[in-house]
Chains A and B, each alone.
Chain A
Amino acid sequence: DQQVKQNSPSLSVQEGRISILNCDYTNSMFDYFLWYKKYPAEGPTFLISISSIKDKNEDGRFTVFLNKSAKHLSLHIVPSQPGDSAVYFCAGTQGGSEKLVFGKGTKLTVNP
Chain B
Amino acid sequence: GAGVSQSPSNKVTEKGKDVELRCDPISGHTALYWYRQRLGQGLEFLIYFQGNSAPDKSGLPSDRFSAERTGESVSTLTIQRTQQEDSAVYLCASSLQRPGLTGGELFFGEGSRLTVL
A41 adjacent to chain B (CB < 8 Å): yes
Interface size class on chain A is: 20 to 34
Pair B4/A43 contact, Cβ less than 8 Å:
yes
Pair A103/B99 contact, Cβ less than 8 Å:
no
Give the residue name and chain of the B residue nearest to A51 (CB).
B100
A101 interface neighbour in B31, B40, B45, B98, Cβ under 8 Å: B45
Count how many chain B residues have C-beta atoms less than 8 Å from C-beta atoms of the other chain. 26
B42 interface neighbour in A45, A99, A104, Cβ under 8 Å: A104
Pair A98/B99 contact, Cβ less than 8 Å:
yes
8 more A-B residue pairs beyond the given contacts A43-B108, A43-B109, A100-B43, with a C-beta to C-beta distance below 8 A: A32-B100, A45-B108, A89-B43, A97-B100, A98-B98, A99-B56, A102-B43, A105-B42
Residues of chain B lying within 8 A (CB to CB) of residue A103: 42
A83 adjacent to chain B (CB < 8 Å): no
Which residues of B line the A interface, CB within 8 A? 4, 31, 33, 35, 40-45, 48, 50, 56, 59, 91, 93, 98-100, 105-111
Pair A95/B45 contact, Cβ less than 8 Å:
no
A96 adjacent to chain B (CB < 8 Å): yes
Q: Give the residue among B50, B59, B108 with the most A Cβ atoms within 10 A.
A: B108
Pair A34/B45 contact, Cβ less than 8 Å:
no
Residues of chain B lying within 8 A (CB to CB) of residue A45: 107-108
Cα of A44 to Cα of B42 in the assembled complex, Å: 11
Pair B91/A43 contact, Cβ less than 8 Å:
yes
